[in-house]
């Protein structure tokens, strides 16, 4: 038995110690608005060196010639929903259907160049564990666990005839355990702590009305100040933070004033609210493509959902103006939902109308990584999102010039020639 264990350890060590040289690349490090010609040596999952002079390597080193392609950090989506990628028509089917689409979506994210995602609710942290163990192909997942929602809130996905599980003394989880109902400070505390126990890296509250939920108008403000503070306190006790869904100034104001650090969507906020966000260093995580005419996400949705979607997307241009005016950190979030995971590249195209190519590249790499790192000690792999010596080797080689025309990333499978995650090549489509 001892011999077998030793052999397995040696095999594992040899796999981890694989050395790869990417030569002749033009490097975007994730931060600087310029490309630097050079070579990147990867060993044991980390970037060992970045050099202008071609380094000496041994015969066992795998050499990849970039042929002057652009090398970028792996892309990062800070508003994903891996577990809700089944099309609307399948939402009421057995949970195994949702699970099947979760696996398909996770692999698709990675093949399109997304090496990390912050899941914005609904996806179990167990998915992150399975991917980390190498038994499921997908990006590194920073999961929020179940949405935490008040009764009648954006996470209360019951039909009108279904009883309240809290009042019936049943499990407070909704559907496939993607949402948990919690009313009052004690229940909110329990819900937050339960998510953290399960492995969540940050907490997601539903703080206002939503599009995909049928019984809460957009104008509704969800959760009292005391309930929000309770969630923030429980999260901060673990060294992490609360992110919250909200659209309107009223709901966003309440969330910021009570300690929430990342607002998701926020399309209907005003100047005063944006200024408060800047003052408190709050992230305004917006998404562009899903609120554009090109999105087909709501195909099969109710008329009320479609009406609410029109209501919130009317604020998109003004929100982007406010993000720029107050230099708010926004990262790169897609909110792809109900089967749109194949269209991740559309977010790059949609953002090209408002930001320069280098700005979008920065949003989708280092800026998103900074936002994820707000979870502090719960982020066990903090050095990712940039091309720097000693950092995790999440790397992409791009066919074309994304720093000049970001729209070439519309079809990511064609645009991304090489995908490396944790120093391992998971896709090589180079000519």
Query: 2-73+386-428: which CATH number, 2.30.40.10, 3.40.50.720, 2.30.29.30, 1.10.3720.10?
Result: 2.30.40.10
For 3, counting Cβ atoms within 10 Å of its Cβ (0-12 exposed, 13-18 middle, 19+ buried), the class is: exposed
Domain-by-domain residue ranges, the chain?
Answer: 2-73+386-428, 75-378
Over residues 406-429, the pLDDT tens digits come to 999 999 999 999 999 999 999 999
Read off the pTM: 0.90
Q: What is the largest CA-CA distance in the chain?
A: 70
For 334-358, what is the mean pLDDT?
93
pLDDT band at 170 (very low <50, low <70, confident <90, very high): low
Over residues 238-262, the pLDDT tens digits come to 999 999 999 999 999 999 999 999 9
pLDDT score, position 49: 96
Q: CA separation (Å) from 101 to 49, 82, 177, 235, 342?
A: 38, 8, 16, 30, 12
Over residues 17-36, the pLDDT tens digits come to 589 999 999 999 999 999 99
Over residues 188-244, the pLDDT tens digits come to 999 999 999 999 999 999 999 878 777 788 899 999 999 999 999 999 999 999 999
Q: Is the pLDDT of residue 290 over 80?
A: yes
Which among 425, 393, 426, 400 has a CA at the least distance from the CA of 415? 400
Q: What is the CATH number of domain 75-378?
A: 3.20.20.140
């Amino acid at each position: 038995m001892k011999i077998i264990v030793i052999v397995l350890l040696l095999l594992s060590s040899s796999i981890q110690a694989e050395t790869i040289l990417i030569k002749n690349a033009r490097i975007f490090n994730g931060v600087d608005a310029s490309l630097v010609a050079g070579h990147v040596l990867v060993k044991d999952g980390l970037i060992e060196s970045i050099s202008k002079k071609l380094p000496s390597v041994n015969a066992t080193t795998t050499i990849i010639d970039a042929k002057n392609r652009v090398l970028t950090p792996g892309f990062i989506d800070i508003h994903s929903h891996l577990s809700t990628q089944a099309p609307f028509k399948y939402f009421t089917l057995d949970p195994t259907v949702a699970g099947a689409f979760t696996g398909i979506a996770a692999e698709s994210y990675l093949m399109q160049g997304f090496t990390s995602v912050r899941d914005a609710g609904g996806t179990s942290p167990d998915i992150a564990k399975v991917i980390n163990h190498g038994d499921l192909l997908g990006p590194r997942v920073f999961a929020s666990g179940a949405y935490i929602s008040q009764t009648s809130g954006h996470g209360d996905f019951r039909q009108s005839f279904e009883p309240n599980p809290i009042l019936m003394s049943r499990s407070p989880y909704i559907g496939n355990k993607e949402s948990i109902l919690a009313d009052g400070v004690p229940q909110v505390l329990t819900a937050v702590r339960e998510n953290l126990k399960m492995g969540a890296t940050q907490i997601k509250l539903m703080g206002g009305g939503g599009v995909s939920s049928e019984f809460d108008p957009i104008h509704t403000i969800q959760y009292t100040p005391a309930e929000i503070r309770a969630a923030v306190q429980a999260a901060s006790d673990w060294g992490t933070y609360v992110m919250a869904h909200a659209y309107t100034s009223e709901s966003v104001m309440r969330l910021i004033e009570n300690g929430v650090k990342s607002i998701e969507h926020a399309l209907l906020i005003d100047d005063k609210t944006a200024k408060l966000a800047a003052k408190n260093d709050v992230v305004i995580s917006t998404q562009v493509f899903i609120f554009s005419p090109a999105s087909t996400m709501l195909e099969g949705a109710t008329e009320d959902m479609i009406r609410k979607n029109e209501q919130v997307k009317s604020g998109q241009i003004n929100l982007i103006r406010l993000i720029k005016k107050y230099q708010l950190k926004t990262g790169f979030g897609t909110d792809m939902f109900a089967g749109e995971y194949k269209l991740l590249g559309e977010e790059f195209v949609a953002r090209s109308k408002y930001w320069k190519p280098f700005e979008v590249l920065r949003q989708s790499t280092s800026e998103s990584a900074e936002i994820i790192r707000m979870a502090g000690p719960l982020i066990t792999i903090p050095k990712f999102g940039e091309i720097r010596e000693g950092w995790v080797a999440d790397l992409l080689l791009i066919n074309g010039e994304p720093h000049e025309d970001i729209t070439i990333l519309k079809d990511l499978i064609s645009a991304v020639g090489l995908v490396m995650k944790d120093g391992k090549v998971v896709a090589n489509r180079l000519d």
